Amino acid sequence: MNFKDYHVHLEQGPYTIEWIKKFVEEGEKRRVVEIGFSEHGHRFIQAVNLWGSHGFRGKWTGSEATKDIDEYIEIVQKAKSMGLPVKLGIEMDYIPEHEDEIWEFVAKYPFDYVLGAVHWLGDFGFDHPALRDEWNKRNIDLTYREYFDVLLKAIKSRIFDCIAHPDVIKVFGHRAKADLKDIYDEVARALKDAGICAEVSTAGLRKPVGEMYPSPAMMECFKKYNVPVVINSDAHRPEDVGRDFDKALDFVKSYGYGKCAEFQNGKFRRGTGIYALTVDS
């Protein structure tokens, strides 16, 4: 089977055709026939205010916003024009107080798709290495509840075409004691109602938690509501493109999925959920 990997980041190298080709070449080794680049929105100077805060989040993202989004778009579009099998995406954090501005930002640009993610609970970047010790001061169950409350808002905003690493809150291996089945069910229903697909990400296998996103329990709920899924790597370097996709394929098949989602149409359209269940698995 051939794969498509829509969660790939260029940010550890230059915005050049040569760097893009490295991802394509590595992907070919794992039968990845199409790559979607989805740079973190906080990397771009045009989006820095979308992460604004008076605390750590605002300070850190302010220092990270060093790239010009027009340069990013130009190089990916150039790669397309050369016949390289790539798509233009972006990974945007959902920050509740900036929802309207996020809408306005993504609507400006010709993205093939927009990945939505939650990495911040206020100024707590729960997956940020510099804030890892903050977990020792927190009630884990309440932190999980806060995460999923924000995730549900992200889904219901209908800004995004796909929700990335839907239970990334577990990244460092902290586990809620409470039964999360009802929360997972609510997330799955919201995805179905919004017409949004969910990412099955192999990135968790490379993190301390040591398992894919989503968990088996969450995946059961996705299948219950027939939420479309897409297999992605969240690669930040060429050698991770398509990594562990064989394991992800077995995982989704074990829940009865026969197809994975893909992105198409060439332009982000508000609230439409741009995917098509056309890739046999």
Query: 14: cis peptide before it, omega within 30°?
Result: no
What's the chain's average pLDDT?
93
**How buried is 124 (Cβ within 10 angstroms: 0-12 exposed, 13-18 middle, 19+ buried)?**
buried
Parse the chain into domains and list their residue ranges: 3-280
Q: What is the pLDDT of residue 259?
A: 83
pLDDT tens, position by position, 80-89? 999 999 999 9
> Region 120-149: what's the mean pLDDT?
98
Asked if the model's pLDDT at residue 174 lies above 90, the reply is yes
Among 63-72, 128-137, 149-158, 266-275, the range scoring the smallest mean pLDDT is: 266-275
Residue 270 binned pLDDT confidence (cut-offs 50, 70, 90): very low
Residue 271 binned pLDDT confidence (cut-offs 50, 70, 90): very low
Closest C-alpha among 269, 226, 219, 265 to residue 108 = 269
Whether pTM exceeds 0.75: yes
pLDDT tens, position by position, 208-261? 999 999 999 999 999 999 999 999 999 999 999 999 999 999 999 999 988 888
Does the domain made of 3-280 have the CATH classification 3.20.20.140? yes
| Residue 76 CA to its chain's centroid (Å) | 18
pLDDT tens, position by position, 18-38? 999 999 999 999 999 999 999
> Region 109-134: what's the mean pLDDT?
96
Alpha helices in 86-133 (DSSP H): 99-107
pLDDT tens, position by position, 49-76? 999 999 999 999 999 999 999 999 999 9
